[in-house]
Amino acid sequence: MRYNLYLLFIFSLLLILSCKNDHNLEKKAPDISLMEVLNNLEYKSKDLHILIDKSDYELSVLHNDQIIKTYPVVLGTNPVDDKLMEGDRRTPEGHFKVRDFYPHKNWSKFIWIDYPTEESYKNHENAKQNGSIPADATIGGEIGIHGTPPNKESLIENKINWTWGCISMTNSDVNDLYKIIYIDMEIVIQD
């Protein structure tokens, strides 16, 4: 335990010193793989969860409430508010779990989340009842975390929201994240 705290202190100190008073850690942090960080801290993948902050364009991997690593992301082309229906190009908000994960021919890896959830259906039906979406609208699905098409990683660097509602990362980042993903891993997406 004491050794883990020492490693965490050293790692945190390196991060702080590498930032040189810049508050944007992910651009200045040393390029250490997520597996290497976990091994150094002796954390297990099963003890991790993911937080996606839409307003900050960040995906963070957490152990309890401690951020282990953060990656830049982009969202659906209509990034504001919660997904209410198929085709609205919004990224859903709420509590989700990993449904499946697999290599993908178009964008490296796909981490499929369990959207729509029961809460998603409630929001969808409420939106129909109050007239904010058409009465015949469908809820959609197939939402996940994935990479970019080949040679399009600048979409992430330039914060260009390009998906139909998914969360997109650079291919190197999704490959790094993919190594710790497991079925039913918790994912929170917030505005």
Catalytic one of 63, 95, 104, 146: 146
Active site residue 19: no
Active site residue 166: yes
Half-sphere exposure of 40 (CA within 13 A, CB side): 15
Helices 2-19 & 34-41, crossing angle to 10 degrees? 140
Whole-angstrom Cα distance, residue 41 to residue 18? 20
How many other CB atoms are found less than 10 A from the CB of residue 18?
Answer: 13
CB-based contacts of 16, cutoff 8 Å, min separation 6:
none
Coarse DSSP helix, strand, coil percentages of the chain, rounded to the nearest 5 percent: 30, 25, 45
DSSP state of 74: B
Which one is catalytic: 19, 49, 124, 166? 166
The catalytic site residues sit at 146, 166
